[in-house]
């Protein structure tokens, strides 16, 4: 099945197999300029992410305290603000060094910004808002008609598989450990990641997120920063795994298959 008058397969990336190195290269000077521009773009997007990370919790949890919308967007004032700016700028700069196609870059930029927003809110409030996951999934599915390394078929299949896998984990966890073992927001996040990564990468993305979450949780337990009874926000690790796959997914899959 073809869309938009192209010969792009419904269930395949558009230009090559998923294991092929498809890095889109620029002349050295242009590559450096692009990386610098995207680093600056990351700083600007970081301001937007910080603003939304402050606005959405007020909107959802404390509507009486809500301020005019644009008052939430300001230069960094706290360590969290600075860390968000730095992380966004660094991730976007890294993205430019390993982008498959010119049209993939702006979409993956948006996807990483969405995931960083989820990480910031989940770290501070242990919540993943529907106002982020639902519109984010819709935008990603629409974008899959255009991006180089995904297709609408792969995106839909990834959404279904990611949601199914984490729904099973959510159901088993609630039966074994009671409500709160895993939030349903993590299931919606897994669906969003499935749309972003596609069927061909969602398994690696979820596995990476689970491994990161398990490793960091173990370190926190060993250092007594948390106890076994503390609820640990897991969405941040899933989102981080998604960011890693968006930047280095082809290399990770090629390494695994090799």
> Which tens digit of pLDDT belongs to each residue from 194-249?
999 999 999 999 999 989 988 988 888 888 776 666 666 789 999 999 999 999 99
The pLDDT tens digits for 161-195 are: 999 999 998 888 888 776 666 788 999 999 999 99
pLDDT of residue 100: 60
pLDDT class of 129 with cuts at 50, 70, 90 = very high
Q: Is the Cα torsion angle 116, 121, 123, 129 positive or negative in sign?
A: negative
Domain spans, the chain: 28-257
Tokens of 161: 């598989």
Please provide the average confidence, as pLDDT, over all residues in the chain: 85
Specify the 3-state DSSP secondary structure of 254. Answer: helix
For 137, 201, 258, the CA distances from 153, given in Å and listed in that order, are 14, 13, 26
User: What is the residue-wise DSSP string for 157-187?
Assistant: HHHHHHHHHHHHHHHHHHHHH-TTSS-HHHH
Q: In this predicted model, what pLDDT tens digit does every residue of 23-36 receive, in sequence order? A: 555 555 588 899 99
Position with higher pLDDT, 250 vs 63: 250
Q: Please give the helix or strand (H or E) that residue 29 lies within, else none.
A: helix 28-61
pLDDT computed for residue 4 by the predictor: 42
177-201 in b/e form (b: 16+ CB < 10 A) is eeeeebbebbbbbbbbbbbbbbbbb
Confidence of residue 149 (pLDDT cuts 50, 70, 90): confident
Q: Please state the pTM of the whole predicted model.
A: 0.86
- The set of residues, in sequence order, having a beta carbon less than 8 Å from that of 146 and lying 6+ positions away, is 103, 107
Average pLDDT (117-130) is: 94
């Amino acid at each position: 099945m073809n869309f938009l008058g192209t010969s792009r397969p419904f269930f395949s990336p558009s230009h090559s197999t998923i294991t092929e190195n498809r890095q889109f290269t620029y002349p050295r000077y242009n590559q450096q300029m692009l990386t610098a521009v995207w680093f600056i773009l990351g700083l600007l997007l970081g301001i937007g992410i910080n603003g939304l990370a402050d606005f959405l919790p007020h909107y959802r949890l404390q509507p009486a305290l809500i301020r005019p919308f644009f008052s939430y967007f300001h230069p960094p004032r706290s360590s969290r603000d600075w860390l968000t700016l730095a992380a966004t700028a660094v991730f976007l700069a890294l993205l430019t060094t390993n982008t498959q196609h010119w049209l993939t870059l702006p979409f993956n930029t948006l996807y990483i910004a969405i995931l960083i927003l989820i990480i910031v809110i989940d770290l501070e409030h242990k919540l993943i808002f529907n106002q982020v996951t639902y519109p984010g999934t819709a935008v990603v599915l629409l974008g899959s008609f255009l991006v180089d390394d995904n297709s609408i078929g792969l995106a839909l299949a990834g959404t279904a598989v990611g949601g199914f896998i984490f729904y099973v984990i959510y159901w088993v966890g609630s039966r074994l450990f009671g409500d709160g073992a895993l939030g349903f927001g993590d299931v919606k996040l897994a669906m969003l990641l499935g749309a972003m990564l596609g069927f061909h990468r969602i398994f690696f993305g979820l596995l990476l997120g689970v491994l990161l979450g398990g490793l960091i949780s173990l370190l926190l337990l060993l250092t007594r920063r948390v106890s076994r009874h503390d609820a640990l926000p897991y969405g941040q690790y899933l989102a981080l795994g998604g960011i890693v796959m968006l930047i280095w997914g082809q290399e990770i899959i090629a390494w695994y298959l090799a």
